[in-house]
Amino acid sequence: MPALWWGVLLLISAVLAWALTTLHLPAGVLLGCMLAGILLSSRDIRLGVPRPLFALAQGVLGCLMAQSLQPATLARVAADWPLFLGATVSIIAASAGLGWFLMRRQVFPGTTAVWGLAPGAASAMVLMAEAYGADVRLVAFMQYLRVAVVTAVAALVAHFWTIQTAPPIAHEVHWFSVLHTGNLGWTLVLAFAVSSLARWLKIPGGAMVLPLILGAALQAMGLLVIELPPALLAVSYAVIGWSIGLRFTPSILWHALRALPAVLGSILALMGVGVAIAVGLNQWAGYDPLTAYLASSPGGADSVAIIAATSAVDAGFVMAMQLARFLMVLVWGPRVSQFIARQSRTDP
């Protein structure tokens, strides 16, 4: 009875999202819906977010990220390109090294670890893994567990850091407030039309990346003012949270149970590399610790973007860094994983 279970999912999600938001936890709606999805999927209740709806939510999130990429932020990114390149390459190299180590230690069959630890573009990595003979179930488990763990930890870090630096102040949220209906209309056209086109063209990650790039360009040229009401953002956060949580099926969890300590260990090691990069960004580039941490966090670009948008950080820098890593992983991640896979076949 899918309709009944969707009602249960909505109820649990609403309760958890309200509780986490009341606690001033960043991305409370995202985390609440993700936890609700995990709770139901772990009970063998099979629900799935329709792909068109997920693409539309990604389009809205792409517009949100574009809104933070003001011309001043883009100019700073261009000036600090070695910083972006170094941080991104470090994360990719660390994930490849950890995957190779786990593969050589035979913790996972074949090249599963290499594909499972690639930091970003989870769906693309799962598809590529199947083509190279890896265990797709374990790859999917590692990818989505990494996103869930990194998202939860990043939200907690942002929450406690905010409390220590400046206690959160409750603000009344006007959920359906619209400053200019024309701006909202063009923003919706950008989010929905471009994300739908990207999905139709089957561009990996295009549902978020294309609205992001086009929106940032139009905004920089003064042709578009991006407007996103809180209610629209909340619905998009919920859809993305469900898309993460509902992937944890009992069969995947049971299959990966024996490898769970190694999976968590590798995820924590990758997060440790992100922390080291954040320390460098703080000490050498002068970014505040929370901004540096979120920028170097090896989670999903969409979930980290939501946390940054609901925290007191330099959201433009965080989203620019996440976008740079996402695009590089999308382009070079499969090539790096293929290279290590080929090397493993030739090693004695």
Phi, psi of 106 (to 5 degrees): 60, 35
Look up the pTM and report it.
0.75
Chain segment 47-81, per-residue pLDDT in tens: 888 888 888 888 998 888 888 777 777 777 778 78
DSSP conformation letters of 125-189: HHHHHHHTT--HHHHHHHHHHHHHHHHHHHHHHHHHHHHHHS--------TT--S-HHHHHHHHH
In whole angstroms, give the CA distance from residue 9 to residue 19: 15
- Report the sign of the C-alpha dihedral through residues 293, 296, 300, 301, in that order: positive
In whole angstroms, give the CA distance from residue 58 to residue 62: 6
In whole angstroms, give the CA distance from residue 103 to residue 138: 13
Placement of tokens 């939200």 in the chain: 155
In whole angstroms, give the CA distance from residue 289 to residue 282: 6
Which DSSP category does 221 fall into?
T
Contact 125, 96 (CB under 8 A): no
* Cα within 13 Å of Cα(335), Cβ side: 5
In whole angstroms, give the CA distance from residue 40 to residue 3: 14
Which DSSP category does 118 fall into?
-
Enter the tokens of residue 319.
């989203």
Neighbours of 311 (CB within 10 A): 23
In whole angstroms, give the CA distance from residue 113 to residue 102: 6
Q: Could you tell me how many residues make up the chain?
A: 348
7-22 burial code (b ≥16 CB/10 A, e <16) = eebeebbeebbeebbe
In whole angstroms, give the CA distance from residue 66 to residue 32: 25
Placement of tokens 């619209």 in the chain: 178
pLDDT in tens, the chain (348 residues): 788 999 999 999 999 999 988 877 767 888 899 889 989 988 888 888 888 888 888 899 888 888 877 777 777 777 878 888 888 888 888 888 888 887 777 777 667 777 788 776 565 566 566 666 677 667 777 877 887 888 888 888 887 877 666 555 445 556 667 777 888 899 999 999 998 888 888 776 678 888 988 998 898 888 888 888 888 989 998 998 898 888 777 777 776 677 788 888 888 888 899 899 999 888 888 888 888 898 888 877 777 877 888 777 888 888 888 878 877 776 776 677 777 767 665 554
Enter the tokens of residue 128.
């590529």
